[in-house]
Structure 1
Amino acid sequence: MLKHGTRRSWLLSNRRLLFISLFVVVIPLILFFPQAAPRSRGDFESDQYHATVELRNGTEVIWQIPQSSKAVLFLAHGCNGRALNFWDKSPSCANCIGLPEERLLVSNALARNFAVVTISSRGRCWTFGEEMLTVKDMLEWWVHKHKLHTVPLVALGASSGGYFVSALATNLKFSSITIMIAEGVFGEMDIPEDYPPTLFVHMPKDVHRQKQISVYMEMLKSKGIDVAEVECLDLPLSKNFLADRVPGLDPIVSAKLFNLFKDKGFVNEQGYMKKDGRATRWKEALRGSQIMLDKNLFQHVQEELNLAFAFHEMTSLPSDAIFKWFESHMKSSSISRKPHHLLAVESPKS
């Protein structure tokens, strides 16, 4: 048996060994496996946000269904777009691109318990006639397959997708729709009395389109259809602007790009773009600089420059207004409706 003094020394010695052992084991774990930073609403690269991809009728159908869906949102891209643009690259969607504004629209929808489905157009832009009937059939098939026919169906289309959604709503019963940076094809079709409530999201710098939207809003109001509009204005660039909006873009690179744009005269003293992003030769200026920007992010940066100029670009900025619009017009009903007459028109190339 150990004496009292000896036993006390033995206990102290073992406590020191235990503390040293914990220090040696725990500290490396903390260093090598740091606690993950909280995710923002727009960051959906975790497993719960991975998309499901299916090829149907020769085109991609990509979707995500939250655990408890209160509505279904169909998203229609613009010309040169694809369903792949709305989702981040993941093990389940290796070819997904995750453009900044598209991915945020999906993220915001999922955060509000909207199931989201996207479909790629067959060609560069959406067309009417056969493609419209095909998409109608695909959406009906998808909704019933996933047992979502009892919740409201809503839609958002941008540019060519906006024209497409405005026409599709004559043959598919949406609770409400949002037409983004497009005036719709209301002058070329018969508008049924039960046409869905319509929200126009547009950029008033595009004066011609703004005037046509005003005409169509009055036309819809005269038929007793609920309409509203959201105007999106230009935004100033800053050192953090691109890093804040483009996932994966280093803040240092973002600051260097902003300084380059200032040096080349692409922005004014307040940081506003002097020209549309598409007309700004920023890629050429980049090649003549020492800035190392991942080529995979060129399209992402281009989208944000277009957004900043606010002439014609997909935007997630008014997401709160868009989803409040959808949520204020919720009604469950059969998604089919009797076909209405649609004149033969080409999808506008915008």
Structure 2
Amino acid sequence: MWRRHHRPTTPPSLLAITTTTIIVVFTLTIFFYAITTRKPSIPQFQHSSELKWNSFESSVQFNPTVEQSNGTDLIYQIPDSPRAVLFLAHGCGRRAADFWDRSPGCPHCAGLPEDRLIVLHALHRRFAVLTVSSSAECWSLGRETRTVRWIIKRWVESNGLAGLPLAAMGASSGGYFVSALAASAEMGFSSIAIMIAEGAFEDTKKIRKGYPPTLFLHMPKDRRRMRLVELNMGALRRAGVPVREVRCAEFPLTPEFLSDRIPALDRKSSVELFALFRNEGFIDENGYMRKDGRSTNWKEAVKRSGLLPEKFGWEGHIEEELNLAFGYHEMTSLQSDDMFDWFESHMS
């Protein structure tokens, strides 16, 4: 109870309460915007030892067979006791040879870092791997689908693999191509993965019954493609097709990242390249690429610096990793476990 001589404090006015509330809400809004939009100063995932170029050295070795079929390259490897078959379709400007390391049996093979690691993951899980080169720079969706369908079926049968589950992965142009191949029930895919592409589903109302379970691996920085992926995922679900997505985010470079991924690059050169890229402003203070590798003048900067021999010959390998770090449009092996888990979950 208040004593008579104690006067209660005057209650704050409505204006004061409103003003204070606005200030608090505004401050909290700015705070949460800052923490949710800024880029982290540490990698979003750890570049663990299993992601290095030589991760599978003790268990898997490249030993591909090179053939010609219908005027195109056919490069493949079958592990002991294969459990499944995997067809891989490259993107525009790539070839079947980019999935395999250069060797006496394949002197024209290039072994791009992401491509080769996907093959090694597959062989490690005892998938027989088949790669085919497109007839032009990019895949076409007409006659070429029929030709490659025939090549795959003939190859599977001639190598005694007809009873095994058949999966497929295509990146970019190869993603459209794989989705078009899957449109034919004759192909018999157990599941497919479409990477950095929304797939060829022009008429989503005509997705066939029994279309194979489909995994989309895409980079959300490409917002337009992300929206198209979401639309096609919805159409596939409505058609009763099991579907899932894996989003592949950008990440910061580290001094050793390039040497961890590229066989021909030693640690010293990787550290020096990282320092050069930072000094040239190609990466920000947290290690993120400011632009896609294709749009960065890093080759000219490296040439001026003299860090690499003039005939180094691995520029394409470095650029693939810079593109991957930027996270807009590039082949990626970082989500290989997700992809092969998807394939294996639909092999029964």
Q: Scaled by the length of structure 1, what TM-score is found?
A: 0.81
Deviations 1:256-281 (A, max 9, x none): 11010011000001100001111010
Q: How far is the alpha carbon of 1:44 from its aligned partner?
A: 5.1
Structure 1 CA distance, aligned partners of 2:203 and 2:316?
33
Q: Does 1:176 align with 2:191?
A: yes
Change (3 A) 1:46 1:83: farther
Q: How far is the alpha carbon of 1:46 from its aligned partner?
A: 9.3
Q: Does 1:297 align with 2:314?
A: yes
Q: How far is the alpha carbon of 1:128 from its aligned partner?
A: 1.3
1:93 maps to what in 2? Answer: 106
Q: How far is the alpha carbon of 1:48 from its aligned partner?
A: 4.3
1:126 maps to what in 2? Answer: 139
- Residue identity opposite 1:80 in structure 2: G
1:330 maps to what in 2? Answer: 347
Q: How far is the alpha carbon of 1:110 from its aligned partner?
A: 0.3
- Residue identity opposite 1:328 in structure 2: S
Change (3 A) 1:109 1:137: same
Change (3 A) 1:41 1:295: closer
Q: Which structure carries more relative contact order (alpha carbon 8 Å, separation 6+)? A: 1
Counterpart mapping for 1:22-101 below 5 A:
42-43=55-56, 48-101=61-114
Taking only aligned residues, the RMSD between alpha carbons, in angstroms, comes to 1.6
Q: What secondary structure is seen at the aligned counterpart in 2 of 1:299? A: helix
Change (3 A) 1:324 1:215: same
Structure 2 CA distance, aligned partners of 1:45 and 1:305?
28
Q: Scaled by the length of structure 2, what TM-score is found?
A: 0.82
Deviations 1:202-258 (A, max 9, x none): 000000000000000010000110000000011111110100011110111111110
Q: What secondary structure is seen at the aligned counterpart in 2 of 1:199? A: strand
Asked if structure 2 preserves the Cα contact closer than 8 Å seen for 1:41 and 1:111, the reply is no
Asked if structure 2 preserves the Cα contact closer than 8 Å seen for 1:41 and 1:108, the reply is no
Change (3 A) 1:107 1:229: same
Q: What secondary structure is seen at the aligned counterpart in 2 of 1:295? A: coil
The one of 197, 205, 224 aligned to 2:213:
197
Structure 2 CA distance, aligned partners of 1:167 and 1:317?
25
Change (3 A) 1:60 1:287: same
Q: What secondary structure is seen at the aligned counterpart in 2 of 1:201? A: strand
Structure 1 CA distance, aligned partners of 2:347 and 2:106?
31
In structure 1, runs of 5+ residues without a counterpart are 1-38, 332-350
Deviations 1:161-192 (A, max 9, x none): 00000000012110000000000011247311
Deviations 1:129-185 (A, max 9, x none): 111000000000000000101000000000000000000001211000000000001
How many residue pairs end up in the alignment?
Answer: 293
Q: Does 1:226 align with 2:242?
A: yes
Change (3 A) 1:289 1:116: same
Asked if structure 2 preserves the Cα contact closer than 8 Å seen for 1:276 and 1:305, the reply is yes
Structure 2 CA distance, aligned partners of 1:282 and 1:231?
27
Q: What secondary structure is seen at the aligned counterpart in 2 of 1:220? A: helix
Asked if structure 2 preserves the Cα contact closer than 8 Å seen for 1:76 and 1:157, the reply is yes
1:102 maps to what in 2? Answer: 115
2:34 maps to what in 1? Answer: none
Q: How far is the alpha carbon of 1:295 from its aligned partner?
A: 2.6
Asked if structure 2 preserves the Cα contact closer than 8 Å seen for 1:162 and 1:184, the reply is yes
> Which ranges of 4 or more aligned residues in structure 1 deviate by more than 4 Å?
43-48
Q: Does 1:264 align with 2:276?
A: no
Structure 2 CA distance, aligned partners of 1:49 and 1:307?
24
Change (3 A) 1:47 1:153: closer
Structure 2 CA distance, aligned partners of 1:228 and 1:106?
22
Q: What secondary structure is seen at the aligned counterpart in 1 of 2:314? A: helix
- Residue identity opposite 1:86 in structure 2: F
The one of 254, 273, 279 aligned to 2:295:
279
Change (3 A) 1:48 1:249: closer
- Residue identity opposite 1:167 in structure 2: A
Deviations 1:8-48 (A, max 9, x none): xxxxxxxxxxxxxxxxxxxxxxxxxxxxxxx9764559994
Q: What secondary structure is seen at the aligned counterpart in 1 of 2:302? A: helix
Structure 1 CA distance, aligned partners of 2:192 and 2:109?
25
Q: What secondary structure is seen at the aligned counterpart in 2 of 1:118? A: strand
2:328 maps to what in 1? Answer: 311
Q: What secondary structure is seen at the aligned counterpart in 2 of 1:49? A: coil
